A and B are shown apart, each in its own frame.
Chain A
Amino acid sequence: MMEVFKETLRKRVRFFFFVLIFATSITSILTVNRNRLPNVPEFIKGFQVGVFIGLSLIILYFISNYIATLRNEEVLRKKYIEETDERNQLIVYKSSQGIYVGMLILLSLATVVSGFFNGTVFFTLLLSLVLMLLLTIITFIYNDKMN
């Protein structure tokens, strides 16, 4: 059980490391070639840099946290209990339901409202909505088959 969990954490470290490398590569390439891309407002440029830095710091935190956990059996056991605790899982499940429905409603409203002002934004939000619904259907079918 603990060996399986250790392997799960190792996979997470590898995954986050890959995400960090990928994000850094994409951001670097796009930043270097910014003069070849359409000009965008300074706010967007600032937002992009902020998101990249924030995301990188969060990823680095998780990577270091997982590595530290893997090196200490007692911390590993506590982390395992935390992640498999049934009450914690119930809280995550119930919160996810509320968050999902809330996001669906807000995204739908935003899609409708944006249609009055900007076609590009409307279609972008509509595509996001369609993909979200598609992912929901696929996930439901998958979980129905698996359980």
Chain B
Amino acid sequence: MKTRIQELRKKNKLSQDELASIVGVTRQTITSLEGEKYTASLVLAYKISKYFGLSIEEVFDFSEVEGINDGSI
């Protein structure tokens, strides 16, 4: 899943390690999120969005999630 985590992290001058420590995950998880290899759980997505002061939809891109934008849901 695409996210703006890297963009927001750099804007706030944070390292991956620092962001990981703030939201309570390992640096590898942040790397995987930014590399679009891993999809965050609801709780983690909320924690990251809340830290940046944005909504979940503003940080995580749901446009490619099956069923959300094709009218089936």
Residues of A within 8 A of B (CB): 81-82, 84-88, 90
What residues on A are CB-neighbors of B40 within 8 Å? Answer: 86
A-B contact count (CB 8 A): 27
* B24/A87 in contact, CB under 8 A: no
Size range of the chain B interface in the assembly: 10 to 19
* B41/A86 in contact, CB under 8 A: yes
Chain A interface SS verdict (over half)? helix
Check if B55 is an interface residue, CB within 8 A of chain A. Answer: no
What residues on B are CB-neighbors of A86 within 8 Å? Answer: 25, 29, 40-41, 43-44
Which 3 A-B pairs rank lowest in CB-CB distance, beginning with the nearest? Answer: A87-B29, A85-B26, A85-B25
Check if B32 is an interface residue, CB within 8 A of chain A. Answer: yes
Give Cα distance in the complex from A81 to B28, angstroms.
12
Give Cα distance in the complex from A64 to B29, angstroms.
28
